[in-house]
A and B are shown apart, each in its own frame.
Chain A
Amino acid sequence: MSKVQLTVNGKTAAVEVEDRTLLVHVLRDHLNLTGTHVGCDTSQCGACVVHVDGRAVKSCTVLAGQANGSSVTTIEGIARGDELHPMQAAFRDNHGLQCGFCTPGMIMSAIDIVGRHGGVLDEATVRHELEGNICRCTGYHNIVKAVLDAAGRMKVAQAAE
């Protein structure tokens, strides 16, 4: 058994789990943060993407023990109260989701993509960067639009701060 201490969405959490327990299962089963999804088990689909110490990671491929001491942000932790994160708002406004299952991972990946590119993005870059997130509903058309839209919104928000 491993003792794992995390800061999840700003709150500390301590769990004792089997050594083989994955981070995604700590989030879903122990902390009841079910917004992070499991879609494939092979690190392909990206439905499980969360941020660990500010980096997007596939939480189905990280042992909970490896994340010990880390700060984890999940889809539940990116809005400020009732104010949606610009990426969340852009997904809604651009109809960037249908069934919603891949959406949390898409949004968490997309925030990371915008951050890594300093908000300077074009369609080809967004499509290339989304290679690790699979959506079966949208054909990606509106997801790409949403990410480009959010990149603009995030720049504006950053400038305002």
Chain B
Amino acid sequence: MGMEGIGASVVRKEDKRFITGKGRYVDDIKLMGMSYAHFIRSPHPHAKIKGIDSSAALKMPGVLAVLTGQELVDDKIGNLICGWMIHSKDGSPMKMGAWPAMAPETVRFVGQAVAVVIAESKNAARDAAEAVEIDYEELPAVADVRAAIAPGAVQLHPEAPGNQVYDWALGDEAAVNAAFGKAANVVTMEISNNRLVPNAMEPRAAIADYNAAEEHFTLYTTSQNPHVARLVLSAFYNIAPEHKLRVIAPDVGGGFGSKIYIYPEEMVALWASRKIGRPVKWTGDRTEAFLTDAHGRDHLTRAEMAFDKDNRITGLRVKTHANFGAYMSLFSSSVPTYLYATLLSGQYDIPAIYAEVMGVYTNTTPVDAYRGAGRPEASYLLERMLETAARQLKVDPAELRRKNFITQFPHQTPVIMAYDTGDFNASLDAAMKAIDYAGFPARKAKAKADGKLRGIGVSCYIEACGIAPSKAVGSLGAGVGLWESAEVRVNPVGTIEVLTGSHSHGQGHETAFAQLVADRLGISISQIQIVHGDTDKVQFGMGTYGSRSAAVGLTAILKAMEKVEAKAKKIAAHQLEASEADIVIENGEFKVTGTDKKIALPMVALAAYTAHNLPDGMEPGLKESAFYDPSNFTFPAGAYICELEVDPGTGKTSFVNFVAADDFGRLINPMIVEGQVHGGLAQGIGQALLEHALYDGNGQPVTASFMDYAMPRADDLPSFKLSHTTTLCPGNPLGVKGCGEAGAIGSSAAVINAITDAIGNNKLEMPATPDRVWHAIHGKAA
């Protein structure tokens, strides 16, 4: 069944419900007796709560309750946690301020929940929220990282003196100092990585339903990892024990990291449902998403790269300040450390690297993993430096990269990662060919004659995906294992259900995962149902993020399939009176090799369940499960090249061409893979040209809707030219590496390198708006 097996661009099974309006997202669900929550949020970046008067609101029609942070404390609901322990250079554990789901005393960012109104309708809850009077005493606030760590800055948390969460380092400082001591050339750059808002198109939502007779909760939520949500809600937030809490993440409208975390709203909805004895629904609006979904990126970095006289990189020194916002979100601590500094070797053989990262509190929305999570920041930094170095050293940027490429594998970098395989020359060759790199000077000259500044920019990225080997991440401070689980159920009629701990919120698992099963058994994907997103159905799972679903989740399915096939072969051999070793599976049939004896899968399945004639001692049934823990990360890598034109009169950038050559190992469904790349590229290009979550000096957000935060639109982007090179990942039996984040990781630098090439000025920050580009051309500060 090659048409639907591995490597086939099968049209997606899940699409029919989405294109006909039959998707089932959280806000589409109605329960009997459902009430509606509306959160009252702080309008101040930093303030003391002096009093909350809800008496008028409680008298309004349809109002069921007004609940506050103090009541959460009284009911012993736990504070939000950060699940990855990072230790500072001096060995001390990171310093975390308490984050209650609703603030009882102090608010530390605009949008922090203070109270919630529960009412019979959304409008009634909103109206009543207007009538709740909250007396705030405003405090000084700080939004900028450098201002936050300056002496005399306002202090956010008593637990974190100087607003410092940690001061962490990785690498060999002495070796780096020695390399710089001998360097023939040094390139130094100050680079910021702009704060972004993930903006999945479906706003977050939750429905909590408490059954008092059973003391049981059901939570429908917009989650990328419902089992992790259940675990955290049970183990840390004291909502309910795991067996009394069912978490369902139905159709989820995009995540990009922002729906990994367990947010205050889910916690409060669960707690409120028990308090009022009714189901409680909360649906966020877009401004709530801007204010409360975990933001991404926000680094300030100073970096130096040392070169010898032959232009080989001999050392890299990096000092980064990471803005965490007002509280430590669930996995925030790992993002600018183990997901960032460990990728600072890029595709290059760099003998010595030393990175220091200071995590800083500010009066802004908490920051956590957003598509790429640390790896875009590392890749952007390195690729800006390589391009700038090439210009400074007067060598071709592609050739400077080639000279420094790692070519022997496995390769141990000085920053933990051991790259298993790759062919960086192959992807760079493919990208250069696709864009006709050699012909660029002629095109540039022609553009110049037309009054346009044309530039070309290269970016060669590598990322660590397939997150992650549990033992390795455990040794680095992770609070969870990062394996995945799967269960394959062959029904008595031969149809198959695959239960997976991965969660699809756009990635097409219902198709791609079915392709693996179809491939192995030679049956149609229509015979296979992928089940995910419900803790009552799937035993456990770690969810979908970090480009892990194929490398980890699908491998778990493969392991369960192998067990199913082994048992089915035993049954088939018994039925056919043949040797088990002679059974092969083809086109949905179990055949005795070299004969015409065969039995179809449904008959094997039926035999397993009727159990009338099974081999002696065999248990009835045909259902197996597996847990798969990867032995290493996977290392997708590739080369992106952007060619564009800048209008020197307006500073406006227009794309001419954007090519991407990626090595993701084996592709399960190339159509889906390319879609993932397109989306990633759009987010990386959005970061480079358009997007910026801005605060004023006092911590007031000034981009909190689609009217003032520039989301990429169709006419901001080009069509992309994609190609693939392949080195199979040796770390998993499928040879897959993961494709979900590559585009977002590699594309920003290609765009900025192209603009700086066009305008002849290396000093340019993202987003490269026409205003900034114009000033970079004309030499005046923006």
- Are A and B bound to each other? yes
Given the known interface contacts A99-B506, A134-B711, A136-B711, the answer about A40 and B706 at a Cβ–Cβ threshold of 8 Å is yes
Tell me whether A95 and B12 are in contact (CB under 8 A): yes
Bound form: Cα–Cα A60–B540 in Å: 39
Closest chain-B Cβ to A14's Cβ sits at a distance in Å of 20
Interface stretch, picked from B392-400, B673-681, B764-772, is B673-681
Which residues between 30 and 64 of chain A lie within 8 Å of chain B, taking CB atoms?
A: 32-42, 44-45, 47
- B: residues with CB less than 8 A from A are 11-12, 14-25, 27-28, 30, 123, 198-203, 251-254, 256, 285-287, 505-508, 671-672, 674-676, 678-683, 705-707, 711-715, 717, 719-720, 743
**Contact between B682 and A140 (Cβ–Cβ < 8 Å)?**
yes
CB-based nearest A residue for B711: A134
A136 touches B201 (CB 8 A): yes
Residue in contact with A137 in the complex, picked from B14, B22, B286, B679, CB distance below 8 Å: B679
Most buried by A among B23, B30, B198: B23
> Which of A20, A33, A79, A103 has the largest number of chain B CB atoms within 10 A?
A103
Picked from B12, B679, B717, the residue with its CB within 8 Å of the CB of A92 is: B12
Q: Does A65 contact B (CB under 8 A)?
A: no
Choice from B17, B25, B252, B681 contacting A37 with Cβ under 8 Å: B25
Q: Report the minimal beta-carbon distance from A136 to chain B, rounded to whole angstroms.
A: 5
A104→B254 contact, CB < 8 A: no
Residues on the B chain within 8 Å of A28, using CB? 27-28
Is the CB–CB distance between B506 and A128 below 8 Å? no
**With a CB–CB cut-off of 8 A, which chain A residues contact B203?**
38-39
| A47 vs B28: C-alpha distance when bound (angstroms) | 14
Whether the pair B286, A40 counts as a contact (CB closer than 8 A) is yes
Cβ of A130 under 8 Å from chain B: yes
A-B contact list, 24 entries, CB within 8 Å: A18-B123, A36-B21, A74-B21, A76-B20, A76-B21, A91-B19, A93-B11, A95-B674, A97-B19, A98-B254, A99-B254, A99-B506, A100-B23, A100-B251, A100-B253, A104-B21, A107-B19, A126-B714, A136-B683, A137-B679, A139-B717, A140-B717, A144-B714, A144-B719
- Given A39-B286, A100-B23, A102-B201, A128–B251 Cβ distance below 8 Å? no
- Determine the chain A residues whose CB is within 8 A of the CB of B123 once the complex forms: 18, 20
Cβ–Cβ contact A41 & B285, under 8 A? yes
Docked Cα-Cα span, A38 to B251, in Å, equals 15
Return the contact of B719 from the options A35, A101, A141 (Cβ within 8 A): A141
The docked-state distance in angstroms from the alpha carbon of A91 to that of B21 is: 13
Secondary structure call for the B interface = loop
Q: Are B21 and A33 in contact (CB under 8 A)?
A: yes
Query: What chain A residues lie within 8 Å of B674 (beta carbons)?
Result: 95
Is A136 within 8 A of B256, CB to CB?
yes
Given contacts A44-B707, A136-B711, A140-B682, contact A97 B18 (CB under 8 A): yes
- Known A34-B28, A40-B286: A103·B18 in contact at CB below 8 Å: yes
A128's partner among B15, B672, B715 (CB-CB below 8 A) is B715
Q: Do A136 and B200 have beta carbons less than 8 Å apart?
A: yes
A66 located at the interface, meaning its Cβ lies under 8 Å from any Cβ of chain B in the complex = no
Report the Cα distance A107→B15, complex, angstroms.
Answer: 13
Q: How far is the CA of A93 from the CA of B9 in the complex (A)?
A: 10
CB-CB nearest in chain A for B200: A136
Q: Does A123 contact B (CB under 8 A)?
A: yes
Name the residue on A nearest B25 (C-beta).
Answer: A101
| Cα–Cα distance between A39 and B200 once the two chains are bound (Å) | 9
Are B706 and A44 touching (Cβ within 8 A)? yes
**Shortest distance between the CB of B140 and any CB in chain A (Å):** 31
Q: B19–A103 contact, CB under 8 A? A: yes
The 9 closest A-B pairs by CB, nearest first: A35-B21, A101-B253, A100-B18, A139-B682, A99-B506, A44-B706, A98-B506, A75-B21, A139-B678
Q: Which residues of A contact B508 (CB under 8 A)?
A: 98
| Contact residue among A47, A124, A131, A137 (Cβ-Cβ distance under 8 Å from B506) | A137
Q: A127 with B202: in contact, given A35-B22, A98-B508, A99-B506 (CB under 8 Å)?
A: no
- C-alpha spacing A45/B36, complex, angstroms: 24
Chain B, Cβ-Cβ closest to A25: B122
Can you name 10 extra interface pairs (CB under 8 A) apart from A92-B19, A103-B19? Answer: A37-B25, A95-B11, A95-B12, A97-B19, A98-B508, A99-B202, A99-B506, A100-B19, A101-B23, A138-B675
Instruction: Determine whether A5 belongs to the interface, using a CB cutoff of 8 Å to chain B.
Output: no
Chain A residues, Cβ within 8 Å of B712: 139-140
A13 within 8 A of B: no
Known: A88-B20, A100-B23, A139-B678. A37 touches B254 (CB 8 A): no
Give the nearest-CB partner of B201 in chain A.
Answer: A101
Q: Does A120 contact B (CB under 8 A)?
A: no
Closest to B743 in A: A139
Task: State the CA gap A131–B705 with chains docked (Å).
Answer: 16
User: Is A143 in contact with chain B by the CB < 8 A criterion?
Assistant: yes
Partner of B254, one of A42, A76, A95, A136: A136
How distant is the Cα of A35 from the Cα of B251 in the complex, in angstroms? 12
Cβ of B676 to closest chain A Cβ, rounded Å: 8
Whether A156 sits at the interface, judged by CB under 8 Å, is: no
Write the nearest CB–CB distance from B582 to chain A, whole angstroms: 41
A83-119 interface code vs B (CB 8 A; 1 in, 0 out):
0100010011101011111111001000000000000
In the complex formed, the residue of B with least CB distance to A77 is: B21
Name the residue of chain A whose CB is nearest to the CB of B678: A139
Provide the A119-161 mask, 1 if CB < 8 A to any CB of B, else 0: 0000110111011011111111111100000000000000000
Q: Which residue of B lies closest to A89 (CB)?
A: B19
In the complex, residue of chain A having the shortest beta-carbon distance to the beta carbon of B684: A139
Q: Which of B256, B713, B717 has the most CB of A within 10 A?
A: B713
* Known A-B contacts A44-B706, A100-B506; A92 and B719 likewise in contact (beta carbons under 8 Å): no
B678 contact set on A, CB distance < 8 A: 138-142
Contacts of B30 in A (CB 8 A): 32
**Are B706 and A35 in contact, with the CB atoms below 8 A?**
no
Which of B24, B201, B203 has its CB near the most chain A CB atoms (within 10 A)?
B201
